[in-house]
Amino acid sequence: MGLLVALLLGWVAAPAFAQNDLDGFDIPGTPTLCFGMLGITEQRALEICDALTLKENVRARELAQRWIAEQPNSAAAQFALAEVLIRVEGNLARGLFHLARAEELTNYTSLGRAMADGGAEWHYLALSQLSYVHQLMGDQQASLDYLDKIEAVYGQEVESFRGWPLIKMQKWEEARASANLVLNTSNDERERSRAWNTLCAVELASLRPAESLEACDKSINEDAAAEEESGVVDTVYLLNASEVALSMLRMEEAEDYLTRASSHLNPDSVGDPWINLLYLYMNQGRFEEARTALDSLLVWRDNQEPIVGVMNRAEHFLVSAALLILSGYPEDAATLSATALNQPDRTGSYSADEAQKDSIAALINHIANQTAYEMKLEEVAILPFPESLSARAEALSLRFKSWRSARHAAALFANTTTLQNRLRPYAPLDVHIPEWVEPELVSIMGEGVMSSVLEETLAAGAFSLNEGYYHAYHAEIAAQRGQDLLTIEHAGRAMNMLPTQEVLLKARLAARIADAAWRMGETEIALSSYEQALEWDPSSIRRLGLALPVHITGVDDEFVREVIGYLESSPRFRNHPDGLLLEVFPQSDLTLCLSTRGGSPLSCLQMGEVNTLEIGVDGEAEALTPAQQLVRTFHNRTFGPGIEISQTQRMALMGSSVILSSQNNADVQRNRDAVLQ
């Protein structure tokens, strides 16, 4: 999801202000660390801090609520409840209300008045946390205003914290000036690290990637030195390093950073390396590793602190949705992407913003519903006409949902600058859109718009590291226009130039070449390209709504004839004597096998591998005929990557509410278990 802020504000960073700068305040009593500040003596505050330290979150909430009920005009009580709401529950909106109330109850205009009144620590903490929460909730100007208040009242140096809100506001030159001021005046390692991180983001904002990103390298090196000195691993700098490496198309280096980060479970870090690793594995067609990464992603997600969870919730949903689409579960993917679109994320610690998150969520939702539509057409093909009417209606509904999401995504991508940034390979400041997904922008934005923006983006230098991505977009534009020769030309150049790791993008290009070549009568080119697409990413044929040319053969047997009839009706196959071989073997265990014209198997299925019990959406068992289930299972095996994501995993991805709902229906659960076994 783009670069992450190297050091967070708020209850993570407030101690940096408090411990270093406020310890000189004459606060009576034995110094005790509470809410990141030394010297707080308020007994009720200390009790809440103890409860938070011991992870007694319910007790902390009860203590804070009781305190505020008894002393509603206490700034300390207001801040304490806000801290519990933010830290324990991730409820930023309610926390913001109580922080504003704490500020209102103090509202000091000078350090002398704050010290005389005795509430300096609570006023200071409220201002610091208000800056942090406003940053997370997207109001960057308010975040800067509160930093100004801290500096005006307490004389604290806050320049190193200005850089990130300025980056979020895309005020690049102001951010650069702020960072350079810090580097010229400060010797504090944390401040200098934040400044280098700001300059790194400014450099990466240019569409023309530099050959040497000095600021990024220095940011990474300073964070690495801090890690070595403290012995504490922060995944943020490792994820930022991977983003920089990816923006330079150094895939192995990026994976190395992510692998290092994944070896340290860090619940307090906003960066989950398994999200990025899962994207990499999918891009490279490493499907088994992707499925394993999904398990690790769930473990990491479930161990995150609540405040972190509200920041990267959409990231978890979207990367999971992408894998579900590839794996043949598009309706689950549609649910996840819709959830990401409809639930606000707190993206203030990311270089990307909420609108960017919404744009990719709408795009993924479009692809998920379109893929579900194609699968529903496959289902229609195996059902008799009366039974198929319901499936046809569902297919139309899915197509409408796909169109609606596409229109939503188009509106979000409508800005020319946004599109130019998006077309840059592995755009480091944006929400991550897999490179194999990005060509879908052509269909939703229109070939004319994309062609114009593409040339502007090329001139700006976005493809200077590899023009294969430029030709990949042109191949998609030509395919949408029905220009078969141009499709083959651009796709061929892209496949020769793209990094070897871009397996799924190359599979899409191979499918486009195959489809165009078949229409042109170039049979050998078409069949070899179809075979290549099926090898790299079999789901690409289904996602693009293509039909494989196949020569269907089988003996004159009633069951075999039924199977062949379903295959001929399928939108995934077109029967042609020059096509790939699709044979129905009438052995003791009947076998369906798709092979190359040379006889090498591409996808085979035996009747004994088929479970004839199918579970409908209402949880009731629906019996399909053996021939129907054989053909359905063959489609899923042929046009899927061969990995299975269990029902339990998919329910966990969708959240506890889905799990609880399913557990409340014992009959549904028993039916599902019967199938899973």
pLDDT tens profile 133-191: 998 888 899 999 999 999 999 988 899 899 889 988 889 899 999 999 999 998 888 78
Residue 238 has pLDDT above 90, yes or no: no
- C-alpha triplet 173, 175, 181: angle, nearest 5°: 105
Contact 408, 255 (CB under 8 A): no
What lies within 8 Å, CB to CB, of 512 at 6+ separation is: 475, 476, 479, 487, 491, 544
Q: What percent of the chain has pLDDT over 90?
A: 54
User: Which one-letter DSSP state was computed for residue 587?
Assistant: S
Mean pLDDT score of the chain, rounded to an integer?
85
Residue 350 has pLDDT above 70, yes or no: no
User: 496 falls in which pLDDT band (50, 70, 90)?
Assistant: very high
* Angstrom distance (rounded) from CA 252 to CA 193: 25
The lowest-confidence range among 3-17, 287-301, 462-476, 586-600 is 3-17
Query: Helices (H), strands (E): how many in the chain?
Result: 33, 9
Residue 586 has pLDDT above 80, yes or no: no
Residue whose tokens read 């399909």 = 624
Residue 11 has pLDDT above 60, yes or no: no
User: 231 falls in which pLDDT band (50, 70, 90)?
Assistant: low
Residue 365 has pLDDT above 70, yes or no: yes
User: 205 falls in which pLDDT band (50, 70, 90)?
Assistant: confident
Q: What is the pLDDT of residue 620?
A: 42
pLDDT in tens, 96-136: 999 999 999 998 999 888 888 888 999 999 999 999 999 88
CATH assignment of 1-156? Answer: 1.25.40.10
Mean pLDDT of all residues in 378-392: 91
Q: What percent of the chain has pLDDT over 70?
A: 85
User: Phi and psi dihedrals of 23, rounded to 5?
Assistant: -65, -20
Q: What is the pLDDT of residue 424?
A: 87
Please report which helix (H) or strand (E) contains residue 37, including its range. Answer: strand 37-38
Residue 28 has pLDDT above 80, yes or no: no
Across 35-61, b (16+ Cβ under 10 Å) vs e yields bbbbbbebebbbbbbebbeeeeeeebb
The identity of residue 663, as a single letter, is Q
By CB atoms closer than 10 A (0-12, 13-18, 19+), residue 333 is: buried
Residue whose tokens read 């966990």 = 652
pLDDT in tens, 437-455: 999 999 999 999 999 999 9
Q: Strands, E, within 532-636: which ranges? A: 548-554, 573-575, 580-585, 591-595, 601-606, 613-615, 621-623
The identity of residue 465, as a single letter, is L
Residue whose tokens read 């939703």 = 444
User: 334 falls in which pLDDT band (50, 70, 90)?
Assistant: very high
Any bridge partners for residue 552, and if so which? 582
To the nearest 10 degrees (0 to 180), the angle between helices 92-106 and 75-89 is: 160
What lies within 8 Å, CB to CB, of 398 at 6+ separation is: 369, 370, 372, 373, 376
Please report which helix (H) or strand (E) contains residue 453, including its range. Answer: helix 447-459
CA distance readout (Å), 332 to 63, 167, 677: 41, 35, 21
pLDDT in tens, 404-424: 999 999 998 887 777 887 888
User: Phi and psi dihedrals of 593, rounded to 5?
Assistant: -145, 125
Residue 303 has pLDDT above 50, yes or no: yes
Q: What is the pTM of this model?
A: 0.85
According to DSSP, the β-strands at 548-554 and 621-623 are unpaired
For residue 160, how many other CB atoms are within 10 A of its CB? Answer: 27
* C-alpha radius of gyration, the chain, whole number: 28
User: Which one-letter DSSP state was computed for residue 272?
Assistant: -
Contact 154, 21 (CB under 8 A): yes
* Number of residues assigned to the chain: 677
For residue 224, how many other CB atoms are within 10 A of its CB? Answer: 13
* Angstrom distance (rounded) from CA 332 to CA 654: 8
Q: Where are the domains of the chain?
A: 1-156
What are the helix (H) ranges across 460-592? 468-481, 484-497, 503-519, 523-536, 539-543, 558-569
User: Alpha carbon 467 to chain centroid distance?
Assistant: 25
